[in-house]
Structure 1
Amino acid sequence: MRTARPRRSRPPTPTARVLRLRRRISLLFALTSAVGLIAMATLAVRSDSNRWREQLDHTMDADTSWALGLLETDEDGRLVTDVLADAVDTACPPLAVLLADGDSPGALTVRHAPVRPCLTVGREVVLEAGREAVRADGARAFDGRTTGGAPVRVFAQPFYAPEATDDEGPQGVLVTVSDASAQRADHRRLVWLVTGGCAVLVLLSAAVGHALSGRAVRPALAALDRQEAFLADAAHDLRTPAASLRTLAETALRGETDSADVHRRTLRLAEGMGRLVDGLLTRARLMSGTAAVARQPLRLDQLVEAVVQEAIAASAPEPHVRTVAEATVVVADPDLVRRAVGNLLDNAFAHGRAPGVPADVLVSVGRDGTVTVEDAGPGLPPEVAGSLFERFRSGSGSTGLGLSIASWVAHAHGGTLTAERGGRGGARFVLRLPTED
């Protein structure tokens, strides 16, 4: 029984890897911003929480300090709270007096409690606050709740007998309660405001990170596009001479031609392929920005005539080409212009004729730096007229790279390449190059 092999996932393309890197950079940027904002928000929230508690504690410390002045002792040293009771019995915040039980360390009894307090807390809350202050031998503050569930702040301040020594504990504890509803409401509003602000800033930072990462990876994507264009152009330009070499080799193996002639033709093809490779490398360097267009004064008419002769010799069936050239000097790169004109001729030979009929092409060179290639073929297909110079666009089954390369050469020199219907019914291509001043 044959078991099915697990399907291997295809490795991502270079473009997919770059885009995945962009997403990771955006995510890392957002996470970094989120961590920083959360840390700052946590610090701000905690600072506000400590602030309002310290404000209440300071106020209650002042109240208990004032109340300590109202405590009196009689001749026997016993604590008298009558003056305090008269002063704070109906006051708000309420104040309770707890006395320490000398026989039971840590035990407290309520000596005074307000009759009509504005805030009512459980008796155990007051006693626990007092015990904590006695154990700590100092003032202590706590969060609590009233019997109705409202938030309060409980403050306990121990006091000592006038004749007490350093080893003796506190004589009692003053416990006061303050309403914390307003402070907690303000704190909650701050928490929601900070949380919402952090969320907005994280989203904003994610968007900014995505935009910045897009700008960061844009050169890499452009380089990948240039690499793809270079490979496609290389395949396009090398396909014809490679096919000619194969045909020549097959002819030589069959013994249908003279060996010396085969060698000469092979040498010409090899030289032509070498020039093609050099031109492709030059174009790749120009597109990547590592080299500049080698502009120099150039006799355009002589170059075009030489290219026409080479194109006729390499074409089968031999086309009928008429050349009308005026002496013209342009400022351009000879190799690139040679390739552009050659591509225009190849296009005219391939598409500017009826099947089985040699191409009839008119090539003219004007004094204004124009090279016109006009054929007598069927003309330009309407469906490709608007995108004729884009890569991989053609109306006759070819890749369409030849015209796109010619257009690129024209624009690299500050010129133009246009296509229109010719006077003989075919296509007319006009290459314009800057002339020498």
Structure 2
Amino acid sequence: MRPALPRRTRTLTPTARVLRLRRRISLLFALTSAVGLIAMAVFAVRSDSARWREQLDHAMDADSSWALGLLETDENGRLATDVLADTVNTGCPPLTVLLVTGDDGRGGLTVQHAAAAPCLTVSPGVVLEAGRAAARTGEARGFDRRTTDGEPVRVFALPFYASEAAEAEPPQGVLVTMADATAQRDDHRRLVWVVTGGCAVLVLLSAAVGHVLSGRAVRPALSALGQQEAFLADAAHDLRTPAASLRTLAETALRGETDSTDVHRRTLRLAEGMGRLVDGLLTRARLMSGTATVARQPLRLDQLAEAVAEEAVEASAEGHRVRVEAEDTVVVADPDLVRRAVGNLLGNALTHGHAPGAPADVLITVARDGTLTVEDAGPGLPPGVADALFERFRSGSGSTGLGLSIASWVAHAHGGTLTAGPGDHGGARFVLRLPTSD
């Protein structure tokens, strides 16, 4: 026989595990609420059940005790019920007097008096059973029974003695009465339905509340997982190309097909590009996670733009031209983050804002209202992509795909905006707006 293969377990992603944890938390919250509500419901139902029985027993005990005062004993010591029959309507509620027979006073029971036309009719065995139970224990007893018509009734049996001094002896007889329990049973049944429906509604409500609360509890974890997955995707996407280029360059150098000086120069450019890429990835991760604090302070935006432009021109060996037209402008922003945003906008213009093989011509304008505009003379933006430029991986081939998205995050972190559109000379125009010190 072929051995049984082990069952393959499905590996859950971290997000799926967090969502499963949320469902379990919601279920646990609902079960805990259900257990508490059911316990309270059972207590309330039982308390109501005991209450209406006690009320009926108390009323019948009062009536029976008053009726006992009408029982008399003749000169021969025999129980006489004439006064009781003449004084009280023993038919409603039905009143039956049972006499205990036997040497020990706990033997058989004989009916001494019974109503001729009772308003509630039960079988004789029910009356005798109640009388025997009260005579056997010497205490009042109550029972739930049904009439011959099937209606609920409460039967109450009260033992009595020949004299007050004879309470330590067996009872002389038992007085049995009963009361209609239909109204009480109906009220109790309605209470059971109300409590059951209320518990069901509250359990559903608690489940919904638990689901909402668990969602809020796991939301930071889901957000962190999403940021982690996005960061890993960015890193894998952006590092794959330069890593492959480095491998190809190394293999070419090992085969001796390329001049060593050229290999070193290309390796240096790739290393610098990877360094900028890693720096951009880390900046983006800090911005998304909120760990990069925005240190707002008064900042000369015009001077920062001039410094960034000068550094870009010095670092470029392709003869790019960058002009700066700036007015004295003070904004309230983080110098490091704004420098990175302006540098990314300028770097994007120098990379894509010119024809192949021609140097770029970029104009940076700074206005007093905190607006910085970067405009190039390149081919411009493709139709319909202006709104998607600030998403990751949308900067175009040859770049990291993070520069514009980081610039957009920096703008929004300061309460500003970053928009893109066509320029006056056919190229692309990016407008960064930051709050001023006014």
Task: Please confirm whether the aligned pair reaches a TM-score higher than 0.5, indicating the same fold.
Answer: yes
Are the equivalent residues in 1 in contact too, given 2:414–2:435 (CA < 8 A)? Answer: yes
Are the equivalent residues in 2 in contact too, given 1:301–1:325 (CA < 8 A)? Answer: no
- String of CA shifts for 1:158-199, please: whole Å, max 9, x gaps: 111128745531111000010001111111111111111111
Change in CA separation of 1:279 and 1:306 when aligned onto 2, cut-off 3 Å:
farther
Aligned residue runs from structure 1 range 6-85, under 5 A: 8-85=8-85
Are the equivalent residues in 2 in contact too, given 1:359–1:375 (CA < 8 A)? Answer: no
Which moves more between the two structures, 134-143 or 276-285?
276-285
Aligned residue runs from structure 1 range 262-281, under 5 A: 262-263=263-264, 266=267, 270=271, 273-274=274-275, 276-281=277-282
Determine helix, strand or coil for the equivalent of 1:386. Answer: coil
Which moves more between the two structures, 401-410 or 264-273?
264-273
Match of 2:304 in 1: 300
Change in CA separation of 1:8 and 1:400 when aligned onto 2, cut-off 3 Å:
farther
The residue identity in structure 1 corresponding to 2:364 is S
Change in CA separation of 1:213 and 1:9 when aligned onto 2, cut-off 3 Å:
same
Determine helix, strand or coil for the equivalent of 1:292. Answer: coil
Which moves more between the two structures, 79-88 or 99-108?
99-108
Which moves more between the two structures, 120-129 or 340-349?
340-349
Find out whether 1:340 has 2:341 as its counterpart: yes
Match of 2:189 in 1: 188
Alpha-carbon distance between aligned partners in 2 of 1:124 and 1:403, rounded to the nearest angstrom: 95
Tell me how far 1:33 sits from its aligned partner.
1.2
Are the equivalent residues in 2 in contact too, given 1:89–1:116 (CA < 8 A)? Answer: no
Change in CA separation of 1:245 and 1:365 when aligned onto 2, cut-off 3 Å:
farther
Change in CA separation of 1:163 and 1:345 when aligned onto 2, cut-off 3 Å:
closer
Are the equivalent residues in 2 in contact too, given 1:377–1:425 (CA < 8 A)? Answer: yes
Tell me how far 1:399 sits from its aligned partner.
8.0
Match of 1:323 in 2: 323
TM-score (norm 2): 0.86
Change in CA separation of 1:226 and 1:372 when aligned onto 2, cut-off 3 Å:
same
Aligned residue runs from structure 1 range 401-412, under 5 A: 401-412=402-413
- String of CA shifts for 1:13-40, please: whole Å, max 9, x gaps: 2222212111111111111111111111
The residue identity in structure 1 corresponding to 2:258 is E
Gaps of 5+ in 1: none
- String of CA shifts for 1:97-134, please: whole Å, max 9, x gaps: 11111247431111111001000011000000001001
Aligned residue runs from structure 1 range 146-225, under 5 A: 146-162=147-163, 165=166, 168-225=169-226
Are the equivalent residues in 2 in contact too, given 1:351–1:396 (CA < 8 A)? Answer: no
Change in CA separation of 1:132 and 1:223 when aligned onto 2, cut-off 3 Å:
same
Which moves more between the two structures, 220-229 or 125-134?
220-229
Alpha-carbon distance between aligned partners in 2 of 1:400 and 1:283, rounded to the nearest angstrom: 11
Which moves more between the two structures, 418-427 or 130-139?
418-427
Tell me how far 1:10 sits from its aligned partner.
3.9
Change in CA separation of 1:306 and 1:243 when aligned onto 2, cut-off 3 Å:
farther
Match of 1:139 in 2: 140
The residue identity in structure 2 corresponding to 1:188 is R
- String of CA shifts for 1:325-347, please: whole Å, max 9, x gaps: 54766554454334433433454
Are the equivalent residues in 1 in contact too, given 2:322–2:362 (CA < 8 A)? Answer: yes
Change in CA separation of 1:362 and 1:291 when aligned onto 2, cut-off 3 Å:
closer
Find out whether 1:256 has 2:282 as its counterpart: no
Match of 1:94 in 2: 94
Alpha-carbon distance between aligned partners in 1 of 2:10 and 2:271, rounded to the nearest angstrom: 38
Determine helix, strand or coil for the equivalent of 2:210. Answer: helix
Which moves more between the two structures, 105-114 or 72-81?
105-114
Gaps of 5+ in 2: none
Alpha-carbon distance between aligned partners in 2 of 1:282 and 1:29, rounded to the nearest angstrom: 40
- String of CA shifts for 1:317-367, please: whole Å, max 9, x gaps: x4744433547665544543344334334544555456x554644231425
Find out whether 1:384 has 2:388 as its counterpart: no
Percent of aligned pairs with the same amino acid: 76
Alpha-carbon distance between aligned partners in 1 of 2:322 and 2:377, rounded to the nearest angstrom: 12
- String of CA shifts for 1:277-330, please: whole Å, max 9, x gaps: 3454344334323341245646313332245337734xxxx4744433547665
Which moves more between the two structures, 179-188 or 262-271?
262-271
Which moves more between the two structures, 82-91 or 167-176?
82-91
Report the aligned-residue RMSD.
3.3
Alpha-carbon distance between aligned partners in 2 of 1:399 and 1:270, rounded to the nearest angstrom: 14
TM-score (norm 1): 0.86
